[in-house]
Chain A
């Protein structure tokens, strides 16, 4: 089934620095979703991208969907300690192609 690869696995930054995580698929994605899981918490939906080349912003977060709909990125500008957590991308996959399959996630730590 379709697999979504995500890099880097871990990233440590100083507060105020930028952060980017990348998601890549070997097959074309119909859409891609991003989730954030805080330490000890559960995944929380951030956004969904559907259109080729789509760019969406949420305050300091910028999400992009590649032109070929095979890759996506999440960029955080001027990180804050509240940004700490693991960021996951997710796309449709599984045996039937209808299940939401998650990438391995990028764990972000921020020091002040």
Chain B
């Protein structure tokens, strides 16, 4: 069974540019999470999808971030325009049920904004 896959693994963009990160969860997992880890610090929650619906987007830093999950399958996280402070590792995780079950993480996308 394939795990959670994220693309790209690395991205270096200039300030002001747009970047789109993609996450393919484990097939059948209704719950999909986006997190960000900056400079080896905490894993900061961004948002939580249940199928195609945004269950909780309270962690999204501002309106430069837009997440979608078309058809309840893969998800994208777009940053437009990117700022220096957006640099970090963006993790996607999925679980078959809500927070009461194990979350499976992807390898992450390392975003560097220069």
Total number of A residues with any Cβ neighbor in B under 8 Å: 29
Partner of A102, one of B40, B42, B102, B107: B42
CB of A101 within 8 A of chain B?
yes
Contact A88 B43 (CB under 8 A): yes
Give the complex CA separation of A25 and B107 in angstroms. 28
Q: A98: which of B44, B98, B103, B107 is its contact (CB, 8 Å)?
A: B98
Task: How many A-B residue pairs have C-beta atoms within 8 angstroms? Tell me.
Answer: 79
B25 adjacent to chain A (CB < 8 Å) = no
Segment of A12-20, A42-50, A75-83 engaged in the interface with chain B: A42-50
Residues of B within 8 A of A93 (CB): 45
CB distance from B88 to the nearest CB of A (A): 13
Once the chains bind, are A103 and B98 in contact (CB under 8 Å)? no
> Contact: A94 with B48, CB < 8 Å?
yes
| Contact A95–B42 (Cβ < 8 Å) | no
- Interface residues of A, dominant DSSP: strand
Q: Compute how far the CA of A43 lies from the CA of B107 in the bound complex, rounded to whole angstroms.
A: 9
Closest chain B CB from A47 CB (angstroms): 9
Which single member of A42, A92, A96, A105 contacts B108 (CB below 8 Å)?
A42
Known: A43-B91, A92-B100, A94-B48. A99 touches B105 (CB 8 A): no
Is the CB of B99 closer than 8 A to any CB of chain A? yes
Chain A residue contacts of B108, Cβ below 8 A: 42
Residues in A whose Cβ lies below 8 Å from that of B55: 96, 98-99
**Nearest chain A residue, comparing its CB with the CB of B101:** A48
Residues of A within 8 A of B (CB): 1, 30-31, 33, 37, 41-45, 48, 86, 88, 90-96, 98-105, 107
Q: Using a CB–CB distance below 8 Å, which chain B residues touch chain A?
A: 33, 35, 40-45, 47-48, 50, 55-56, 58-59, 91, 93, 95, 98-108
Given contact pairs A30-B100, A45-B102, a sample of 18 additional A-B residue pairs in the complex whose CB atoms are under 8 Å apart: A31-B100, A33-B102, A43-B43, A43-B93, A44-B105, A48-B101, A48-B102, A91-B99, A93-B45, A94-B48, A94-B59, A96-B55, A99-B58, A100-B48, A100-B95, A100-B103, A102-B43, A105-B42
